[in-house]
Amino acid sequence: MSRFTWQSVLFLAPAVITLLLFAYWPLLQDVWLSFHSWNMVSPTMKFVGLQNYLQLLSSGELIKILLNTILYILVLVCVNFILPYLLSFIIAHRLNRFSFFYRSALFIPSTVSLAVASILFLWILNPLAGPLNIILSAIGLESPRWFKESGLVIIIIGLIIGWKVFGYNLILLVAAMVDVPKELIEAARLENVSNWQLFRRIIVPMTSSTALYVFVITVVFGLQYVLVPVNMLTQGGPDQGSTNLVYIVYQYGFVFFQTGKASAFAIVTMLLYALFLIVKTKVLDKKVHYEN
């Protein structure tokens, strides 16, 4: 930064101060808490050193939580990244009419709060009385107990979040797709390039920067969203089948009132996020084409 100016510092100040105050200061406190045993009201905090971390690493639940988290990420990436990516290509480049209608219609669920979505789907998916079961039993199938089967519960919660987030990601991706110059596609078409080649050689590289952004928010925000439906519908059950790195922090902190362990989990979660971003930087950014 050779032309470092005081103006730029001033411009940055509001954002930086907010972040320092509401992100980095609590982060430091979180580190401090993770070395203590405290229940949030007791006047005394017991220093326990690394005990919280050791318990966390030695308990069997960490593996289960990590596996669940990965499963959530896979489901979320499918419904909130790959699917909207493909559909946005169709909307932007394969339709002659009505693309505005599709974009709007698919976006509407994004305006519904996740709490509402959770209750709505609880009723729709009711295994005995819900509309889906009525349809399923009409064709002779028995409805699974969606929220009581481990594995299935993660997919269902992922789909509820997908239902909400899908439209927003789609809009972002359509905007990127529309920016791909029509002439390029036109030219490719004249060369008789197959659909797959067109997609692989032109669309993917030209939209990669937005796609990467959507991918990152899918993983990072997607996991934050998980908290609401899990807390409302399953409380981490069945037998921790729907718990994950984000919910476990909430559960230790606000259900079990063990702030030390909650903080330790939060730190581990943050380190994993950081790791994800490092991998993203080192591997994916190299392959991304930034237009400007």
Partner 1 sequence: MKINSYRDWYWHILLLFAVVIQLWPLFFMLSTSFKTMDQIFLSTLNPLPAKPVLDNYLYVLKNLPLVQYIVNTLLIASSITLAKIITSILAGFAFVYADCQQYHSC
Partner 2 sequence: MKKITQLVVLLCIGAFTILALGCGNSQNTSSKTPSKVMIEYWHVNAESFGGPSVKQLVEQFNKENPDIEVVEKYNPDMYKGLTQNLQAAMASGKNPDVVQMGYSYLNYAGENLKYASIPDIITKLSPEDNSYLQDNFLPNVLALATTDDGKQIGIPYSVSVPVLYYNPDVFKQAGLDPNQPPRTWQEVTQYAKTIKEKTGIMGFFMQEYADNWAQQALIESNGGQILAKKDGRTMAGFDTPEASEAYQVLADMVKNGNGLHATNEEAFQAFLSGKLGMVCTTIGKRDNFEKSAKFTVMAAQFPSFEGKTRRLPAGGNLLMIFSQDPDKQKAAWRFVKFLESPGALALWSKGTGYLPPRKGVTEDPQGLKDFAEQNKNMQVAMSQMPEVVKWASFPGANGLQAEQALIDVRDIILSGKQSAADALKQAAAKINSML
Question: Which of partner 1, partner 2, none sits in contact with 166, Cβ below 5 to 8 A by type?
Answer: partner 1
Strand, coil or helix: 36: strand
In sign, the C-alpha dihedral spanning 198, 200, 206, 207 is positive
Applying CB under 8 A, does 14 fall inside the site for partner 1? yes
Shortest distance (Å) from residue 127 CB to partner 2: 6
62-71: Cβ within 8 A, 24+ apart: 64/240, 64/243, 65/240, 65/243, 65/244, 65/245, 65/248, 66/245, 68/154, 68/240, 68/241, 68/242, 68/243, 68/244, 69/223, 69/244, 69/245, 71/151, 71/154, 71/155
**Does 16 participate in binding partner 1 (rule CB under 8 A)?**
yes
CB of residue 242 to partner 1, shortest distance in Å: 20
200 binds partner 1 (CB under 8 A): no
Q: Quick one: what does residue 192 bind among partner 2, partner 1, none, with the CB cut-off 5 to 8 Å set by partner type?
A: none
Nearer to partner 2, 59 or 104 (CB): 59
Judged by CB under 8 A, does residue 94 bind partner 1?
A: yes
Amino acid at 278: I
Distance CA 52, CA 267 (A): 11
Query: Which lies closer to partner 1 via its Cβ, residue 189 or residue 200?
Result: 189
Q: What track of x and - describes contact with partner 2 for positions 84 through 123 (by CB under 8 A)?
A: --------------------------------------xx
Whether omega before 181 lies within 30 degrees of 0, making that bond cis, reads: no
Considering just the CA atoms, what is the radius of gyration of the chain in Å?
23
User: Which of the stretches 99-107, 158-166, 198-206, 221-229 binds partner 2 when contact is defined by CB under 8 A?
Assistant: 221-229
Nearest one of 229, 219, 217, 223 to 266, comparing CA atoms: 223
- Which of 36, 62, 149, 171 touches partner 2 (CB under 8 A)? 149
Q: Is 185 a residue that touches partner 1 (CB under 8 A)? A: yes
Q: Which stretch binds partner 2 (CB under 8 A): 25-33, 71-79, 80-88, 190-198?
A: 25-33
> 263, 245, 267, 244: which is closest to 254 by C-alpha?
263
Beta carbon of residue 179, minimum distance to partner 2 (angstroms, whole number):
18
In Å, how far are 46, 155, 256, 258, 268 from 252, measured between CA atoms? 17, 24, 5, 5, 14
Residue 166 phi, psi dihedral angles, 5° rounding? -45, -55
By the rule CB under 8 A, 69 interacts with partner 2: no
What residue 220 binds from partner 1, partner 2, none (CB within 5 to 8 A, per partner kind)?
partner 2
Positions in the binding site for partner 1 (CB under 8 A): 1-5, 7-16, 18, 87, 90-91, 93-98, 102, 105-106, 108-109, 112, 116-117, 120-121, 123-124, 129-131, 134-135, 163, 166-167, 182, 185-186, 189, 290, 292
